[in-house]
Amino acid sequence: MMEVTNDSSGGEFILMGFSDQPQLELVLFVLILISYLLTLLGNITIIVVSHLDLHLHTPMYFFLSHLSFVDLCFTTSVIPQLLWNLWGPYKTITVIGCAVQLSVALALGSTECVLLTIMAFDRYVAICRPLHYTTVMHPRLCQCLAAMAWLSGIGNSAIQSIFTFHVPRCGNWRIPNFACEVPSMIKLACVDIRVNEVVLFIATLILVLLPIVLIVSSYGFIAQAALRIKSSQAWQKALGTCGSHLLVVTLFFGMISVIYIQSSSSFSKSSGKFLTLFYAVVTPTLNPLIYTLRNKDMKGALRRLLGKDQSSRKT
């Protein structure tokens, strides 16, 4: 059973997590640890391969490297604390630790929303404007777009973190989740939280709903262009370059929409923590698998690098 610290001592938040289902904690610990290790391995592999292989020095893999770095940092901001709480009897996190976790995870999650939108634009230009691709997606623009993604994530995190942690909690230290995140944190408030809900709603419109609209629009134009393609090889290439990204987008925005678009009253404790678990653990693990298993360029780059390693050992 969970050891609960006195609410009035220590000033620590209690991450309730899965303490009401102690029979699941050991199983979850093993599964999450394996998933985390796979996430580290997969995303580090994508970053290293994209950097070392000259064939992958393209806008698509430039943004994919940023996406992998975001997933790598996001899981690291959440999973070690979760594993610690699942393994031992103590389920606490300091106020500073909670603030850091919330702000970092929120910044990275917001950055990923923008990055996925930029990657959809990149695919749109590649398929709908192939003759102008190198002119449009030049390195300077790619760097500016990546910087815009990171700055928007950091800005959103700063605003929401300030609003979230300045709300009086009146001794409410029990977070009904395994991590510090906005929907769970604002439910600890003992005052009217309509301002927080408005801020969260505006952020959701800008960083979730707007990207979804832009991505759907991009793929609408891509679908129209693909229907005009008569060559079967060109058709398969178009689907291949978009399939992985579209699958990742569906997983990511599907989960984040369910979590953040719901009103706080309908965000149940039980469903909320399992949805957050899928969003924080499963999705970052699947992303590198999707991009490597479904991507011929990435698999080819891996084979080339492994071939170089083998040849160097022989010499």
The structural domains of the chain, ordered by start, are 12-314 (1.20.1070.10)
pTM of the model: 0.87
Q: What length does the chain have?
A: 315
Question: Please, which residues have CB within 8 angstroms of residue 287's CB and are 6 or more apart in sequence?
Answer: 42, 43, 67, 68, 71, 248, 251
H or E segment at 175? strand 174-175
Amino acid at 261: I
Q: How far apart are CA 312 and CA 315, in angstroms?
A: 5
CA distance 59 to 297: 13
- Strands of the sheet with 92-94, listed across from one edge: 92-94, 12-15, 174-175
Per-position pLDDT tens, the chain of length 315:
344 333 433 578 999 888 777 788 899 999 999 999 999 999 999 999 999 988 889 999 999 999 999 999 999 999 999 999 898 777 899 999 999 999 999 999 999 999 999 999 999 998 889 899 999 999 999 999 999 999 999 999 999 999 999 888 888 888 888 899 888 888 888 888 889 889 988 998 899 999 999 999 999 998 888 777 766 666 666 666 688 888 899 999 988 877 766 544 444 556 667 788 888 898 899 888 888 766 777 888 888 888 765 444 444
